Structure 1
Amino acid sequence: PPPPFNILKALIRHQNLFFQFAFRLDAATLTDLYAIDKEFHFRYNQYCLGLTYRHANYWAPVATHIFTPSFFPQLCITDPMRRPLDGRPHLARDVPSLRWAQLVIFRSNIVREILTLLAIEGHRVPKEAEAVLLKLWMLMELRSERTRLVYLEDRAIWSDEDLLVANLLLVKLDMRFADPVNGKGICELSCMLFTQKSLTSLLRVLRGWLLTRRGQDYDELRAMLKRTYFDDDLELDNAPWMDDEEDPRNEVREEEWGNLHSEGWSWDGEFMADALELLVEECVSRQLHVHRYLLDFVLYGAVDEGTGENYPRVRWRG
């Protein structure tokens, strides 16, 4: 008797449906199928470059063009089919791996959730904010001040509109943190969170997973402060033990103090300005006069520009 019909094998062996099937799989399912099915593994390897890009672009169309593989050579692999680089048969090209696609999709989901949480609290932002926040994440990840400056000064990446939207985002975050009812701190909190290596800390604050009254969260915040700022930038009069490495309450080693403001995030690196400071300097350099738009930033998404009336309050289900 003929073998029973296997829909998975039929999709893998189909000349056209295989591609539509492969890049529409979510990241976890694609990785699992690539690992356990030999036939899928072989066919994916044949078209790994195109399929990996299509997969990332399908789930994260904005982030794919910002977190390009050239920024993450450690997430690239040798072409499984050993296709040559520039016609040199002895040297195989590098292609982005599934780990790169997972990184892109993960960061896109983080940024979308951040913007969603802001919108739920009434702080709406323009649609361009997703791309701008992703670019800010890329800026935060660069370990050299010179590299950050080159990245910011590239007008093909950062247009004047992008810089203005970035300032609007900062205003909305400051309004969220300084909210008298639902706020999680003060306006300076956004500066510290944008000095970290990623935006996951910002998401945790907006979710309410950090800066609560639990003791372990306070310890984590204290460690974050020590890694972000030098002692001269902190007010230690009420907590002198934070300047004592041998104090058991101080979990951060001395060589890690202020690392996020040091070149290469290293204890012996030169001072490195944080991402927001460089962003403000670039706005001044381009003569954008951001201060003229501050009131517009505050009112954006809350007041109709044509009538001057407040937008009706959104009633969330549930």
Structure 2
Amino acid sequence: MTDDNRATRKRELSESPEPAKDGGFGALSNKRRFILDNEPLQTTNDRKHLEGETFNALDVLAQVAAAAPRLPIVRNRKRVILKTPTPPPQVKTFNLLTGLVSHVDILLQVTSYLPPQTLLNLYSISAPFHYVIDSHFTAFIKAATHTWAPDADRYFPWWCYRQLCIEDPALRRARPDRRSVSWNDFTPKPESDTSSQDKFDGSDTHTSNSGDSPNSIKSESQAETKARVSKLVKHRQTIAAPVPGFRWLKMVVYRESVCREIVGWLAAHGHRIPRLEGVDALKKMWFLLDVPVNGPRIALIHNTIYFTKETLAVLQLFFIKLDMLYCNPVHFYGGEASMREMLLAERSLTTLWNYLRGADGTSKLDTMRLWIRHRYKRPQPIRPMTREAHEEHLAKLSMPIMGVPAQLVGRWGYECWGLGQTKLLRPDELVLKEAVRRRAGLQRMFLSYLSYGYLDADLNPLPTNVKPEDVVLSMVRRKKHRELKAKESDGMDIDKKEEDEKPARGQGSTSLEDRIRAMLAERHG
């Protein structure tokens, strides 16, 4: 037998699982044992062991396991499969919003009638609705705008309110023909470091300059402003396009309601202006108030498409009615012509609306604060002062007056809302100057403006005592709500009364069959 055959036979014997005939354990596997004392012959294939050699524990365990009797195999054993309990059948509920998400055109019409806050809540809690809104964000915002504030995107262009816009969730690029410039871009940032403590020379020429305050701004030339804004526009062209956000939607809806209420409160005080034309003119004037610099204000009032001749006439009528309200000798409201000037120099028409409806913040003390913001001038020293008196004077200049911050005392009517050095032109001044420039001849219509709202087309006097519940938008809604609640309560009372009367009528009444029998008995005797 050759050496290869011997090696094959030896390998087969070592792989045999049966025990040896002499009662010992043969080699059961071809795995190597641990080599002890550098003995290369100590493997599982060695049958001759030296005297005193210790067995490997792994080999002993493997031989014992192979010699153990095997368990009988049961062929026909049934397998038990445990089934998971099925959940109880649930009633399928229909979700209107989930059903409308797949129909964007219908969803657009339905959600346009939701109030802005309700639309925002729905956008926050519904993932499918959130995804659909992000895919067509501008369309949904404009649809809601046309319902709650018609033509608001024409009176308050959303690209002029960059701080109220968001980047397009669909990551669309900005249009190259539209400059995304806001009114705040024309306002430079306040200076960070300005020294308010100048060297004292003992003379009376030292006066407090509001431009030296920490909140003053650095004057820019027209070229510097143009370069800064152009650089900002180029940067915005590289990012996603701005789209109107929910903040812009809330702003235009709020302004729509305020302008309508201003017209209504003027009518409640006996001074009427055209309702629809007056609301549109007030919205355009509010957009003019948003401009914090004189240059863009003049350019905007020169726009004959935005400020038409009719708009200038309605605004002049509004200014005259406002003067008649605060200068009425019969019903004196505690104001004068300066009230119109201060109210129109504010940043928005909210202050005028609060004064017309007598809301909180319109007391005599608040009127005094309004005057301090616009007209008050701090007294200047008239003679040389000592160093201690000068320091005391500077400390007084930094103190607020009746709650008005020191840097805003007498400076609210300046450019950039008190930070500039030039007085802002008010809307009443701009309207008169523009009417003269266009030769509109508004000065010939002042007498007609004074008598407007008191005589009809046939020169008959109109009633001047108008209840606010009939003309003010918020009060009209409250009145209708109270009437609806009263009708519902009356209907519930009537239904309850009828239910109470039904058993009483049933006890004394006879059935139809009894009546027919009685009639037949009478006829046939």
Aligned twin of 1:253: 405
Counterpart among 361, 372, 393 of residue 226 in structure 1: 372
Size of the aligned set, in residue pairs, is 302
Q: Which runs of 5+ in 1 are unaligned?
A: 233-243
Instruction: Check whether the contact 2:289–2:427 (CA below 8 A) recurs between aligned residues.
Output: yes
Aligned partners of 2:356 and 2:238: how far apart in 1? 51
1:303 maps to which of 447, 455, 472: 455
Q: Distance in 2 between matches of 1:309 and 1:86?
A: 56
- Comparing 58-67 with 23-32, greater Cα deviation is found at 58-67
Alignment of 1:1-318 (within 5 A): 1=90, 3-86=92-175, 91-126=239-274, 127-179=276-328, 180-181=330-331, 183-209=333-359, 217-229=363-375, 231=377, 245=397, 250-305=402-457, 307-312=458-463, 316=467
Farther off after superposition, 183-192 or 137-146: 183-192
Q: Is the 8 A contact 1:63 1:107 kept in 2?
A: no
Deviation at 1:160, TM superposition (A): 1.3
Post-superposition CA distance 1:159-190 (Å, at most 9, x none): 11111110101111222223333635223312
Identical-pair percentage: 28
Letter of the 1:38 counterpart: A
CA contact (8 A) 1:117 1:206 kept: yes
- CA–CA distance in 2 between the matches of 1:315 and 1:276? 27
Q: Residue type matched to 1:311 in 2?
A: L
| Letter paired with 2:311 | D
The change in CA–CA distance for 1:249 and 1:260 in structure 2 (over 3 A counts) is closer
SS in 2 for 1:85: coil
> What is the distance in 2 between the residues matched to 1:197 and 1:294?
27
> 1:210 Cα shift?
5.5
Aligned-partner residue type, residue 437 of structure 2 = S
Question: TM-score, normalised on structure 1?
Answer: 0.86
Secondary structure of 1:92 counterpart: coil
Worse overlay, 52-61 or 195-204: 52-61
Instruction: Decide whether the 8 Å contact of 1:143 with 1:264 is kept in 2.
Output: yes
Distance 1:315 1:128, change over 3 A: closer
Following superposition, the deviation at residue 315 of structure 1 comes to 6.2
Gaps of at least 5 residues in structure 2 are 1-89, 177-236, 379-395, 471-478, 480-525
TM-score (norm. length: structure 2): 0.53
- Equivalent-residue separation in structure 2 for 1:32 and 1:94 (angstroms): 22
Q: Describe the superposition over 1:131-181 as per-residue Cα deviations: whole angstroms up to 9, x where unpaired.
A: 111111111121101111001011111111111110101111222223333
Question: What is the CA deviation profile of residues 16-66 of structure 1, one whole-angstrom value per residue up to 9, with x for unaligned ones?
Answer: 321111221111101111111111111111110111111112111143311
Task: Give the direction of change, closer, same or farther, for the CA distance of 1:264–1:52 in structure 2 (3 Å limit).
Answer: same
Q: 1:32 to 1:290 in 2, by over 3 A?
A: same
What is the distance in 2 between the residues matched to 1:152 and 1:40? 42
1:238 corresponds in structure 2 to none
| In structure 2, distance between residues paired with 1:141 and 1:15 | 35
Root mean square deviation of aligned Cα: 2.6
CA deviation vs aligned residue, 1:251-297 (integer Å, no higher than 9, x gap)? 32332123332221234432332222222211222222322111111
Larger Rg: 2
Q: Secondary structure at the match of 1:117?
A: helix
Q: Which amino acid aligns with 1:108?
A: E
Letter of the 1:278 partner, please give it.
Answer: L
Alpha-carbon contact 2:400-2:406 (below 8 Å) kept: no
CA distance in structure 1 between the partners assigned to 2:336 and 2:292 by the alignment: 27
Question: For 1:249 and 1:168, how far apart are their aligned partners in 2?
Answer: 36
Change in CA separation of 1:130 and 1:248 when aligned onto 2, cut-off 3 Å: closer
Question: Where does residue 199 of structure 2 map in the other structure?
Answer: none
| Residues in 2 aligned to 1:247 and 1:78: alpha-carbon distance in whole angstroms | 42
Structure 2 CA distance, aligned partners of 1:18 and 1:309? 51
Find the aligned partners of 1:31 and 1:83 in 2 and give their Cα distance: 22
